[in-house]
Chain A
Amino acid sequence: MKPKPNPPLALLAELTHRCPLACPYCSNPVELTRKEQELPTGTWLDVFREAAEMGVLHVHLSGGEPASRPDLETLVAGAREAGLYTNLITSGIGLTEKRLRALDEAGLDHVQLSLQGVDAALADRVGGYRGGFDRKMQVAAWVREIGFPLTLNAVMHKQNLDRLEETIDLAVELGARRIEVATVQFHGWAARNRAALMPTRAQAQRAREIVLAARERLKGILVIDYVPADHHAQFPKACMGGWGSTGLNVAPDGTVLPCHAAQTIPSLRFERVGDRPLRDIWENGPAFEAFRGEDWMQEPCRSCERRHIDFGGCRCQAMALAGDAAATDPVCSRSPLHARLVAEAEADAAVTEAEFVYRRMNSPALVS
């Protein structure tokens, strides 16, 4: 019999797919969940209680834009009551000072604010939402006034990487304790915008230098978490810290996922909250079992000395690029597809004029 997996540390609660922004790298699935299909308040509160009882420590309230849910304050209060550390992942749009004060009352622990660019021209063009940047700066000021710890979440790509130093400076200026410098990942919607988003090798290299220098300079002032450009890496990232090992996602309609992109893997069978206890889904659900441990691995992963370090990389990226979710992530230099991946990345990086394909709820690709 297989050993029982350790309990998860984190729950990503995707409260809704609705979002006023239209980021060209949106990480929500290509098929969005409509408002009518979203879980009701009470079901979310049950999910939080179950999650806390099974050992989850952090709940990340995300979306879409979680402020699109009018019951956000109730959800935060319920999550806190269950004993969870509550993190709000927001674009800031839809948050007023009054709502932030209500979230404070409800016990919200931490705010993570997305940042598309360092000024209105850049940020609003990337987010596809005019006025978004100014609103975000206002929200950041309220966050600071109330006293919530603040993290900025900056997705970086070809069109804003040259302004990384200013991005880090802005985080300090806004009083953030942390910044996530996350180079865009190319699954889901971002795959449609590769030519507009793929950074050059020089940008990726420079970003690394900037991050290392800033970490040293800003010790005790700003914590910098960095997700490098993996198409330019030698080895893949340890996606999710290992499949089904540290965290789980609940999608707006209650589907329980090992990672936010897992639905791009057609062979997986998912369950929904309420089908059976969340703990059972985590411990025995077929989607979680699929890539847990090492039995599923093929060569070159199976005999690789790095298999305990990076777990063969990202399963969704293997699916997207190799057509096989159990293949070595082609980001790995040991993948037979690596040379092709690098050539395609360099070709996309070299494109200088490419329009964004924005992500909107009524985009043509939506299947209702």
Chain B
Amino acid sequence: MNPAAVPFLPRGVRVHEDRVRGMSVLLAPERALKLDAIGLAILGEVDGETPFGEIVTRLAARYEAPAERIAADAAAFLDGLVERRIVEVRP
């Protein structure tokens, strides 16, 4: 994920508040992925307008963590979803 790339959730993918299990899940075709607090925070910044670099800056500020670490974690998380066609990017 390069800093200028703009990630977004394509149609058919959405975050769902699962009240029965008391967790957030990412719903996609034939998939339901449990979201932990980190995943939820990352996806919370994925709005289809904000470039990846800015997402990292915001998360680093909010969690008072080094930007390099946030960048590595967020890229691994989002790249994994891109590979599975659950997240898409605008170049």
Question: Does chain A have a CB within 8 A of B67?
Answer: no
A220 touches B83 (CB 8 A): yes
Would you list which residues of chain A between 182 and 223 have a CB under 8 Å from chain B? 219-223
Taken residue by residue from 18 to 43, chain B's Cβ proximity to chain A (1 for < 8 Å, 0 otherwise) reads as 10110001010110100000000000
- CA gap between A223 and B83 in the complex, in Å: 8
Interface segment out of the listed A51-59, A333-341, A359-367 = A51-59
Q: A177-B85, A219-B83 are in contact. Are A151 and B18 (CB under 8 A)?
A: no
Q: How far is the CA of A147 from the CA of B10 in the complex (A)?
A: 10
Residue contact A57 to B25, C-beta cutoff 8 Å: yes
Query: What is the distance, in angstroms, from A3's C-beta to the closest C-beta of chain B?
Result: 16
* Residue A166 is within 8 A (CB to CB) of chain B in the complex: no
Cβ–Cβ contact A220 & B82, under 8 A = yes
Could you say which of B14, B20, B82 contacts A7, with CB atoms under 8 Å apart? B20
Contact A110 B12 (CB under 8 A): yes
- Bound-complex Cα distance A216 to B88 (A): 18
Binary per-residue interface labels of chain A (1-43) against chain B in the complex, 1 for a CB within 8 Å, 0 otherwise: 0000001010000000000000000000000000000000000
B84 at the interface (CB under 8 A from A): yes
B76 to chain A, nearest CB (A): 15
- The A-contacting residues of B in range 68-91, CB under 8 angstroms, are 82-85
Residues of chain A within 8 A (CB-CB) of B30 are 58, 87, 110, 151, 178, 225
Q: How far is the CB of B66 from chain A (nearest CB, A)?
A: 28
Main DSSP-derived SS at the B contact region = loop
Among candidates B13, B18, B29, B85, residue contacting A220 with C-beta atoms closer than 8 Å: B85
Cβ of A85 within 8 Å of any chain B Cβ, yes or no, is: yes
Instruction: Check A110–B32 contact: CB distance below 8 A.
Output: no
CB neighbours of A119 from chain B (8 A) = none
For A83, the chain B residues whose CB sits under 8 A away are 16
Q: Which A residues touch B83, using CB under 8 A? A: 219-220
**Interface check A94, CB cutoff 8 A:** no
**Interface CB pairs A-B, < 8 A, 21:** A53-B20, A55-B18, A55-B21, A57-B16, A57-B27, A58-B27, A58-B30, A58-B32, A85-B14, A85-B32, A109-B12, A110-B12, A147-B11, A148-B12, A149-B10, A149-B29, A177-B29, A178-B29, A178-B30, A221-B85, A225-B30
Interface residues of A (CB under 8 A from B): 7, 9, 53-55, 57-58, 83, 85, 87, 109-110, 112, 147-149, 151, 177-178, 219-223, 225
User: When A and B form their complex, which 5 residue pairs have the shortest distance between CB atoms, in order from nearest?
Assistant: A149-B12, A55-B20, A177-B85, A110-B29, A85-B27
